[in-house]
Structure 1
């Protein structure tokens, strides 16, 4: 029997590895009870990530890896208070990281690697208290490693290799990161050896 709310009661939408094509519809933002939105490994989903997804306050898993998504990440995606995993790796995302992502206070896994994200990493993101994995390798980032990242209490993996941070040194404060087990950055220390 059809639900009177037009399927807005749906809690999980798992559409991974189905060879889907086309764009993600803005109407996804109307699924107000959704906890998982998973379109990983379809390879041919194009267009930008709809800003309307930022309306789904119940969302815990936003999993869009392995597609051809492009365009910048909308500020609205930073207002998902229950989000645990934000994975958009292996796409064609451009633009800078929104400072609004500092509001992702529950996020543990932040996988943005293998895109074309540019600009400086906002130091404000150091206020993400639950972050464990912060993967930004293989992007077009530039600038420096924010020393403020040493204040992230749970961070275990920080991957920044194959970006444009050439010559940047590891901030001394990173030595205080007792939980950090992996820091990847192929160009670190070049400036120090000159």
Structure 2
């Protein structure tokens, strides 16, 4: 029989010694029961020791040292090499090797944690879900996250993150859900965010300091079902090619973006759209009759713009419409059929004998303005007086 010695045996002994040293600070604490995995549990036992979990241990320990406050003590048991037992850390079999256990997700939502994301976080290469909303992480997203090639959902909303849009995000091949809202990111939101190469299904970038330029090559090139850009600075106009998103778009929220534009009739092609919020902008012209073709529409909010004319009856006859908001415009007529919409707000318009309308003087002054003309690109054409 060959002697039990040699390079392999020596490495194995050294590894066991290293793991024993890592455990020493935690020996006084009972080991918790294994945490449940978000995926189906493997049908065979998997070793809690392998190179991927070793890398995850390094990443999570570096992250714990980057945390200044943890009021809910979510990372209190982040101790020792058994990372699958850490609160908020979820493990499952690796997608490329069912015989290896790996970290598949981290969820620290609503922890109110103060700290930053260290470069070592990129060692969590198999993470598919990273949920960190409602904390107080500052700094920016480290570039090492480009190694998270399996990242499917990234939610860092409601934090204190800042800096330019992390460009590496557009190169993550698996990313489908991106939520950056309620942070302090600034600068230009790159066209690639809307590109078909990234192919996001949901984009929440609202309540940052982003600049977004609308064109047929950006927004309308998206495959997303949900796009929320509220309270950001939009440049450009709503292009006629907005109808090109008909196969995917379900929710579009552009409220309070300072966009000055007409609403192109091609918007009526969005037959899957359920929510359209264009309120608190500088939209002008008439409400397109074609919106009456949007058979899935449940919420339409165009309040607080400079729209005029008559509210098309086809809109009020939409079978699923539950909320119609046209308040704060200059509409001069509204069909009686609109009264049957369950939630309706048509105040502050110029509808004769309708309650809660603008003053007669305001409406007369608006009628004496030059008429609005819309260009082929959806932009308002301004003619000299």
TM-score in same-fold range (> 0.5) = yes
Instruction: After TM superposition, give the deviation of residue 191 of structure 1 in Å.
Output: 5.5
Range 30-39 or range 93-102, more displaced: 93-102
Structure 1 residue runs of 5 or longer lacking an equivalent are none
CA separation of 1:122/1:26 partners in 2, compared to 1, >3 Å: closer, same or farther?
Answer: farther
TM-score normalised by the chain length of structure 1: 0.88
1:156-175, aligned counterparts within 5 Å? 156-165=298-307, 167-175=308-316
Residues 29 and 55 in structure 1, CA contact (< 8 A), matched pair in contact too: no
Q: Distance in 1 between matches of 2:198 and 2:242?
A: 14
Give matches, 1:46-61, under 5 Å. 46-53=186-193, 54-61=195-202
Q: 2 CA distance for matches of 1:78 and 1:173? A: 25
Displacement of 1:92 in angstroms is 1.9
Count of residues in Structure 1 that have an aligned counterpart in Structure 2: 191
In structure 2, C-alpha distance between the alignment counterparts of 1:130 and 1:184, rounded to whole Å: 20
Q: Give, in angstroms, the shift of residue 56 of structure 1.
A: 4.0
1:112 is aligned to 2:254 = yes
Which runs of 5 or more structure 2 residues have no equivalent in the other structure?
1-51, 53-122, 127-145, 333-348, 353-363, 365-385
Mapped partners of 2:282, 2:158: distance in 1: 27
- Higher RCO (C-alpha under 8 Å, 6+ residues apart): 1
139-148 or 50-59: which moved more? Answer: 50-59
Question: What is the deviation of 1:147?
Answer: 0.4
Residue 125 (1) aligns with residue 267 (2): yes
Task: Report the secondary structure of 2:147's partner residue.
Answer: coil
Instruction: Tell me which of 168, 171, 177 is aligned to 2:318.
Output: 177
Instruction: Indicate the SS of the match to 1:103.
Output: helix
- CA drift at 1:93: 1.9
**CA deviations over 1:128-163 (Å, ceiling 9, x no partner):** 121000000001111110000000010011101111
**Of the candidates 165, 168, 171, which is equivalent to residue 24 of structure 1?**
165
Report the counterpart of residue 281 of structure 2 in structure 1: 139
Greater fraction of residues in helix: 2
Greater mean deviation of Cα atoms: 30-39 or 17-26: 17-26
Deviation at 1:19, TM superposition (A): 0.8
Query: Is the contact made by 2:170 and 2:198 (CA closer than 8 Å) also made in structure 1?
Result: no
